Amino acid sequence: GAVVSQHPSRVICKSGTSVKIECRSLDFQATTMFWYRQFPKQSLMLMATSNEGSKATYEQGVEKDKFLINHASLTLSTLTVTSAHPEDSSFYICSATSGDYTDTQYFGPGTRLTVL
Amino acid sequence: QKEVEQNSGPLSVPEGAIASLNCTYSDRGSQSFFWYRQYSGKSPELIMFIYSNGDKEDGRFTAQLNKASQYVSLLIRDSQPSDSATYLCAVNSANFGNEKLTFGTGTRLTIIP
Question: Across chain B, how many H-helices and E-strands are there?
Answer: 0, 11
Q: How far apart are CA A116 and CA A49, in angstroms?
A: 28
Q: How far apart are CA B21 and CA B45, in angstroms?
A: 16
Mean pLDDT value across residues B83-111: 85
Which residues of chain A have a Cβ shorter than 8 Å from any chain B Cβ?
A: 32, 34, 42-44, 46, 49, 91, 93, 97, 99, 101-110
CA distance A102 to chain B (A): 7
- Percentage of residues in chain B having pLDDT higher than 90: 79
Q: Measured on CA atoms in the order A109, A113, B3, B5, is the torsion positive or negative?
A: positive
A33 — pLDDT class (breaks 50, 70, 90) = very high
- CA closest to B32 among chain A residues: A102
Mean pLDDT value across residues B76-103: 85
Mark yes or no for CB contact A108/B43 under 8 Å. Answer: yes
Of A32, A34, A104, nearest to B34 by CB-CB distance is A104
Q: Which residues contact B74 (CB under 8 A, 6 or more apart)?
A: B20, B21, B23, B35, B47, B48, B61, B62, B63, B64, B87, B89
Q: How far apart are CA A25 and CA A27, in angstroms?
A: 6
Write out pLDDT tens, residues A8-31: 999 999 999 999 999 999 998 988
Q: What is the pLDDT of residue B92?
A: 86
B98 — pLDDT class (breaks 50, 70, 90) = low
